[in-house]
């Protein structure tokens, strides 16, 4: 099973933008054509504990994410190792992002208001195979019951001693869920092999607290 479907699920878990996506970079207009109109974006910095117009604060979102998670990583081929995952608020400011249509087109459909929170994630295994970290921006328009933190890291940028073989990148999928003070995590590592003139080959080679979702060739 190709894990790319999970990106849409992840974005929904993160609080998708009310069925809309933020406009991408403006394309070059045809010669003589006017510049395309886009929605305007306004960011206002808010405190972590400030309850926003969305009905929740960044503190409430982070309360279900932040912490240190110790578990066992199971390799598909065989063997296990201790896995430690940490999630914490990144240094970036917390923002309330609002979109508005341009005056020239007041009926243009724009994304809804979102709370922007960045988190720092570390992923470390006791066998030395992985010692990775990344930051991720979360855009919340509704209060999320769970979160999927994910990143694709080129194998050249990995810091552990995992042997990538032919793999060109690894996808890290970390789902954090749970109520109250006892959130749990589960996820999967997916190797990606890119080849010229062919679709990338993906293989879920390790997982924790769940069975692998991505079939291997």
Domain ranges of the chain: 5-16+39-208
| Angle in degrees, CA 45, 143, 90, rounded to 5 | 45
> How high is the mean pLDDT of the chain?
85
CB distance 171 to 154 below 8 Å? no
The whole-number average pLDDT for the span 75-104 is 94
**Tokens coding 137:** 């921006």
The whole-number average pLDDT for the span 103-131 is 95
- Kindly state the percentage of the chain with pLDDT values over 70: 82
> Between the CA of residue 57 and those of 89, 106, 154, what are the distances in Å?
13, 29, 34
Predicted pLDDT at 4? 45
- Kindly state the percentage of the chain with pLDDT values over 90: 65
**Under the phi-then-psi rule, with left for phi > 0, alpha for psi from -120 to 50, and beta for the rest, what region is 180?**
left
Residue 24 has pLDDT above 50, yes or no: no
Predicted pLDDT at 157? 97
Q: Which residues pair with 52 in a beta bridge?
A: none
Place of tokens 């069925």: 19
Among 12-26, 66-80, 181-195, the minimum mean pLDDT is found in: 12-26
Among 87-91, 105-109, 205-209, the minimum mean pLDDT is found in: 105-109
CB distance 26 to 36 below 8 Å? yes
Query: What pLDDT band is residue 181 in, cutting at 50, 70 and 90?
Result: low
The whole-number average pLDDT for the span 88-99 is 95
CB distance 147 to 177 below 8 Å? yes
Answer positive or negative: Cα dihedral of 54, 58, 63, 68. Answer: positive
Query: What pLDDT band is residue 217 in, cutting at 50, 70 and 90?
Result: confident
How does 146-165 read in b/e, with b if 16+ C-beta sit within 10 Å?
bbbbbbebebeebeeebeee
Cα 6 from Cα 140, distance rounded (Å): 17
Residue 173 has pLDDT above 80, yes or no: yes
CB distance 153 to 173 below 8 Å? no
Residue 27 has pLDDT above 50, yes or no: no
């Amino acid at each position: 099973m190709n894990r790319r479907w999970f990106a849409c699920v992840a974005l929904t878990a993160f609080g998708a933008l009310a069925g809309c996506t933020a406009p991408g970079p403006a394309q070059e207009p045809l010669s003589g054509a006017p510049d395309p109109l886009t929605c305007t974006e306004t960011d206002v910095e808010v405190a972590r504990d400030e309850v926003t117009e969305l009905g929740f604060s960044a503190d409430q979102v982070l309360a279900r994410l932040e912490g240190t998670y110790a578990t066992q990583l199971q390799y598909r081929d065989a063997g296990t190792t201790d896995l430690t995952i940490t999630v914490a608020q990144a240094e970036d400011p917390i923002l309330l992002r609002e979109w508005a249509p341009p005056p020239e087109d007041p009926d243009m459909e724009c994304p809804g208001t979102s709370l922007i929170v960045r988190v720092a994630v570390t992923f470390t295994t006791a066998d030395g195979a992985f010692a990775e970290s990344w930051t991720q921006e979360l855009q919340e328009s509704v209060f999320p019951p769970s979160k999927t933190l994910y990143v694709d890291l080129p194998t050249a940028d990995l810091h552990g001693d995992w042997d990538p073989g032919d793999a060109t990148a690894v996808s890290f999928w970390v789902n954090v869920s749970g109520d109250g003070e006892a959130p749990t995590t589960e996820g999967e590592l997916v190797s990606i092999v890119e080849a010229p003139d062919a679709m990338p080959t993906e293989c879920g080679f390790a997982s924790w607290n769940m069975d692998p979702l991505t079939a291997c060739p």
